[in-house]
């Protein structure tokens, strides 16, 4: 199928994977890099989390020097809050320093 955005420059419409789109767009590439950095930080601290707590935590946004962890319950967030200094020290020792770790409790909607 031939798609014409500008009559002088016809383009062939082509499906892109998410990865290809991210690589082609500076904004998406930056977003993908931040998501990967957040995932790497979670992988680095997950061994420090007690078994039941580890399954309650997901990587959230990494913005500037702040990293957000998404937590499935307020009880898990309370326990995690006590561990934040240890987690920050652990990340710093591995070259993944963050200025602050924020916690966001995920809420279920419509249940």
Sketch out the chain's domains with CATH numbers: 13-105 (3.30.300.180)
Q: What is the largest CA-CA distance in the chain?
A: 62
- In this predicted structure, what is the pLDDT of residue 13? 67
CB atoms closer than 10 angstroms to residue 11: 10
Angle at 33 between CA 35 and CA 103, to 5 degrees: 30
Residue pair 32/22 in contact (Cβ under 8 Å)? The answer is yes
CA distance 26 to 32: 10
- pLDDT digit string, tens, across residues 30-63: 877 888 999 999 999 999 999 899 999 999 999 9
- pLDDT digit string, tens, across residues 65-78: 899 999 999 999 99
- pLDDT digit string, tens, across residues 8-20: 655 656 777 766 7
């Amino acid at each position: 199928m031939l798609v014409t955005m500008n009559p002088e420059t016809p383009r062939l419409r082509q499906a892109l994977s998410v990865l290809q789109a991210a690589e082609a767009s500076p904004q998406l590439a930056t977003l993908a890099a931040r998501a990967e950095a957040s995932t790497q930080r979670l992988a680095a601290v997950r061994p420090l989390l007690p078994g039941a707590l580890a399954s309650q935590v997901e990587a959230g946004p990494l913005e500037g020097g702040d990293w957000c962890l998404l937590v499935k319950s307020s009880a898990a967030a309370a326990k995690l809050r006590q561990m934040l200094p240890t987690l920050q020290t652990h990340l710093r020792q591995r070259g993944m320093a963050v200025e602050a770790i924020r916690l966001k409790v995920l809420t279920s909607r419509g249940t």
